[in-house]
Structure 1
Amino acid sequence: MEKIRCGWCEKDDLYRDYHDHIWGKPVYDDETIFEFMTLESFQAGLSWYTVLSKRENFKKAFDDFDYKKIAAYDEAKVEELMKNTGIIRNRMKITATINNARRFMEVQKQFGTFSKYIWSFVNGQPIINHPKTLEDVPATSEISDALAKDLKTRGFKFMGSTVVYAHMQATGMICDHLVDCHCK
């Protein structure tokens, strides 16, 4: 019997694997949270599939998403990344990633971990929605609005409410698997 999945992931095996094993699973470690923040920020204005298909290239280009290394990137590294055809070569998004790595570490200093900070917006527990159709899944929420606003006041870039909501879905802060999906 074939597994029933959320309809958005039926494009190919890459998407199905991401849906079945990653999307919506709670993430509490700062390294993975930063990885998804970076990938989600590069998605702004593009499809998630475009970013997901380049995930391994991003991982290599951005030192395994090591935010401590990324925070120290200089203009020469930005130019190197701009020449990397394996990633999305958008100077604003690249410099935003460097900025966000620095802001990320500031939040860690204040809260102990970035995870404590970000999960506080959902009281440390995933929000489980029960959408029946893809049309029932919102692009933003009051929580993503509040988190995006707070991130902006902390100096983060490319982390608007839609990007933040997608990040919350990817890292399991919000579970939007459809009610008939095998992953719900």
Structure 2
Amino acid sequence: MTLPVVEGWNPLGGRPARSDDEIFELLTAAVFQARFRPAVVRARWPAIRQAFAGFALAAVAAWPDACLDELLAAEGMIRNPKKIRASLRNARDLQARSRQFGSVAAYLQSLGDDPEARVSDIDTWAHYIGAPSIRWFVRALAGGGAE
């Protein structure tokens, strides 16, 4: 049985994530691409990247939900409050795992090599994203998930 995976565009160009910031960028891409055409997200990605401080995880994780209006108003942003709020919360959750495990990569490694085990764990905390999009994220971490 093949489990559903969303289509997506990998902002890292199909190479594996090398840092907590890049893992956060991929997770944010998964959130924004859920129920959107990847081409729309790809076209807006430079503006989204700028609005989210280049996906600097530590910086974004410190932002309160109150900065939602500023992000919604950012030039070129996809103006979906649920996706933006989820990205802020996901940054906080990733930062917490980075602190607990030493890095987000170490947290992900602690989940083992089974992609579905990773999907199941991430699905317990990730915001505004379902299992098909999480599967894309897990593939993209290793350099897959390109259009």
Taking structure 2 as the reference length, the TM-score comes to: 0.79
CA root-mean-square deviation: 2.8
Task: Encode CA deviations 1:45-99: one digit per residue, 9 max, x unaligned.
Answer: 1122211111111111111111222122235421011123412111111111111
Residue 157 of structure 1 corresponds to 127
Tell whether 2:68 aligns with 1:78: yes
Change (3 A) 1:29 1:44: same
CA distance in 1, matches of 2:61, 2:128: 16
* Residue 26 (structure 1) shift: 2.2
- Percent identical among aligned pairs is 27
Residue 43 of structure 2 corresponds to 53
Q: Which amino acid aligns with 2:13?
A: I
CA distance in 2, matches of 1:91, 1:64: 19
Residue 44 of structure 1 corresponds to 34
CA distance in 2, matches of 1:75, 1:116: 27
Residue 116 of structure 1 corresponds to 106
The alignment partner of 1:53 has SS state of helix
Residue 136 of structure 1 corresponds to none
Residue 34 of structure 1 corresponds to 24
**Is the 1:148–1:160 contact (alpha carbons within 8 Å) kept by the matching residues of 2?**
no
CA distance in 2, matches of 1:110, 1:176: 27
CA distance in 1, matches of 2:96, 2:135: 22
CA distance in 1, matches of 2:100, 2:66: 30
Residue 4 of structure 2 corresponds to none
CA distance in 2, matches of 1:158, 1:58: 17
Task: Encode CA deviations 1:121-172: one digit per residue, 9 max, x unaligned.
Answer: 453xxxxxxxxxxxxxxxxxx724x32331233x320232211121123232
**Is the 2:101–2:107 contact (alpha carbons within 8 Å) kept by the matching residues of 1?**
yes
Residue 127 of structure 1 corresponds to none
Aligned residues: 140
Unmatched segments (≥5 aa) in structure 1: 1-7, 10-14, 124-141, 178-184
Q: Which amino acid aligns with 1:165?
A: R
Task: Encode CA deviations 1:104-137: one digit per residue, 9 max, x unaligned.
Answer: 01111221110122244453xxxxxxxxxxxxxx
Instruction: Considering Cα pairs closer than 8 Å and 6+ residues apart, tell me whether 1 or 2 has the greater RCO.
Output: 2
Q: Which amino acid aligns with 1:58?
A: I
**Is the 1:41–1:159 contact (alpha carbons within 8 Å) kept by the matching residues of 2?**
yes
CA distance in 1, matches of 2:142, 2:70: 33
Q: Which amino acid aligns with 1:22?
A: G
CA distance in 2, matches of 1:34, 1:91: 18
